Chain A
Amino acid sequence: MVRCPNCGVEQEENANFCSLCGEPLPGKILDSQSFIKSGKLRREGKLLTDYQQLTGFQKRKIFWTISGLVFISAIIIALFIDFVGNQKITWSKYPATVSLVLFINFTLNTFMRKRIILMLTLSFLSVTALFMLIDVYAGDTGWDIKLGIPIILAAYLTVFVLIFLIRRSKLKGLNIIAYSLIAGGLLSVCTEGIIFVYSRSSISLGWSLIVMVSVALTAMLLLYIHYRLKKVTDLKRFFHI
């Protein structure tokens, strides 16, 4: 009997490795040098690169730092070229504002992923501010309040409900695609409605209804496949009361 130095159990005489923890046993000549490395190290190391060993948050933070550098330098360069060329700020305020808002959203996505409601609210506010600023730059036409912000609000609400549904669903698959399709359909109905109210002050929906009906049919088919035709959990055991 041979005793494993790691977990202390006894092995068959002819064993090379512990059948409990996988450590190589002492006194055995192993031809492959790589096997002699401790099993624990092998399991932990598992040929992960430095980047793979980072947590999701650390990866996002790296991405955020890089994007921050790119955006900030883009803003500075744009402002600088514009100023040198025209002696005052003209066109460059558009790319600068957009870059700033993008950077704000990247920041939110990096640091507030756990607080989804707050993240989406702040993100919505930043985009609203972007629209208002662009409208101010363009000379106060008022389209931001009447057109831009309602559409953006509708988009954010749809996305929020979609995220909620995706997180709620235990078995992810075709149902996610179905939810996304319905969300897209709803959003197009909202968009067309808002455009109509803005341009003609009345609602009569056209193309968006066609979109809605077709995505609804597809989504129903997908949901049916997802919930019915998969390996069904016995309904009796699921609903036993």
Chain B
Amino acid sequence: MDIKNGNMALNPGKFWFALDNAAKIFPAVINANVTSVFRLTAVLQHPVKIEPLQKAVLLAEKRFPYFMVQLKQGFFWYYLEHLPQHIPVEPDDGPLCRKFPRGNLLIRIPVKNNCISIECSHILTDGTGALEFLKTILIFYSEVCGIEIPAEYHFNEPAVIPEEEYEDAYNRYFKAEVPPIVKRSKAFHLHYSLKSYPRFTRLNAIASIEQMKRIAHEKGVSITVYLISVYLYILQEIAEGVNSTGMNKRKKKLRIQVPVNLRNIFPSKTMRNFSLFVMPEIDMRLGHYTFDEIIKSVYLQTKLETDEKLINKNISRNVGSERKLYVRGIPLFLKSLILRMKYYSLGTNQYSGVLTNLGIIDLPAGTGELTDYFIMTPPPPNKLLKINCGVAGFGDKLVLSFGNITQSMEFEEKFLLFLKDQNIIIEQETKE
């Protein structure tokens, strides 16, 4: 890594860095539909005051200079280069999560009514990194609006931005000589037909965290495990109703990709991508699973797969393959071709759905009072995956956001109906 030591903010235009291990795949697969752009929204209690927000964004930018970069093409790899522009605060009237054009920053802030959002390319950071940035903006915003912020949340502009915040943390935890992973079989995929462009829509549903927690704890699991189980259960119901023929008949595994924030397992302050995933699965060839059986199985699988050694094995596989000299020496355009194929064969082919849980978000009391709830919208799913789900909790509101590119709402309807049958009240559903 060739980052200059010292204060990056003092040499604008000078710094650049290589893409982190997880980000390397994205430039190869991005197009107008698969944008790899996700959105985090903070819904405030009152309409957004635009001047304080603009001030807050300017303040937050200074704390996160490594987000002010553009994607550039090198000969062997893409890289991120400093772009001396302000992060755009714009009216939220375009399509959701649209692609960032070449030569622009990889982050934007759409604003409308009560909502402050961050749209961010996955090349730049993951959900946790973007959430930190959004929280910083919110804290500055409330401060500008005259709310007292406790000292531990103060972001003083440090003389030197710690290098740890923009390191490729995968590299740090890479261990050489770990056995490669065995390829998984293909998973079942939903069959709905796609919408035309702009095809991405989302459905937000709000539930009570307390209620959800109570029901999950009755089963002895966390909210995430509970929701994964519902996801699998609904997929099973849909898969059993489909008369599959040919290739599809053999795809009898239902798998959910669940991103895991590695900062909780390996200490790192990085603000770039640092997540991997677990893939709980059920095999429909073994017969029909009841909901309780799924919960039990998912619980054990997630416990097993988040084992530190196992995660380390995955990191090593990913980092190891990018470190091989013959991989590094392939010119970029060939590398992109190969990555695009791998994205489907090793990626989307292997799972039927994505559920990403940002967890319960905490804010200082004053800022929290301004905020109603958060929405986590995952990047638009690709044509194989079709539907995904993002979860974010704040206060007592758990927001499920279903991203969908198909003409059918069957999955979401069944999912929410199931929750209602379990006596979970869905307070509000909005479709965009």
Contacts and interface: CB of A to CB of B under 8 A. Distances in A.
Nearest to B80: A237
B329 interface: yes
A3 B81 contact: no
A18 B90 CA distance: 11
A7 interface: yes
Contacts of B79: 237, 240
Given A234-B16, A236-B2, A10 B74 contact: no
Contacts of A19: 50-51, 54
A239 B49 contact: no
A7 B113 contact: yes
Interface in B43-100: 46-51, 53-54, 72-77, 79, 81, 89-93
17 contacts: A3-B47, A9-B48, A9-B112, A9-B113, A10-B46, A10-B48, A10-B50, A11-B51, A12-B51, A19-B50, A20-B50, A20-B89, A20-B111, A239-B75, A240-B2, A240-B74, A240-B76
Contacts of B2: 236-237, 240
A21 interface: yes
A127 B77 CA distance: 44
A1 interface: yes
B76 A239 contact: yes
A236 B76 CA distance: 11
A11 B51 CA distance: 7
Interface residues of A, number: 23
A170 to B, nearest CB: 8
B18 interface: yes
Q: Which 7 A-B pairs have the closest CB atoms?
A: A8-B113, A21-B91, A7-B91, A9-B50, A9-B48, A10-B49, A241-B76
B272 to A, nearest CB: 16
Interface of A: 1, 3-4, 6-12, 18-21, 170, 233-234, 236-241
Nearest to B89: A20
B328 interface: yes
Contact of B329 (A1, A9, A241): A241
B304 to A, nearest CB: 37
Contact of A237 (B81, B92, B112, B328): B81
Contact of B47 (A9, A21, A170): A9
Contacts of B73: 170
A21 B111 CA distance: 10
Given A12-B51, A239-B76, 8 more contacts: A9-B47, A9-B53, A9-B111, A10-B47, A11-B49, A20-B111, A21-B91, A240-B18
A99 to B, nearest CB: 42
Contacts of B54: 19
Nearest to A6: B91
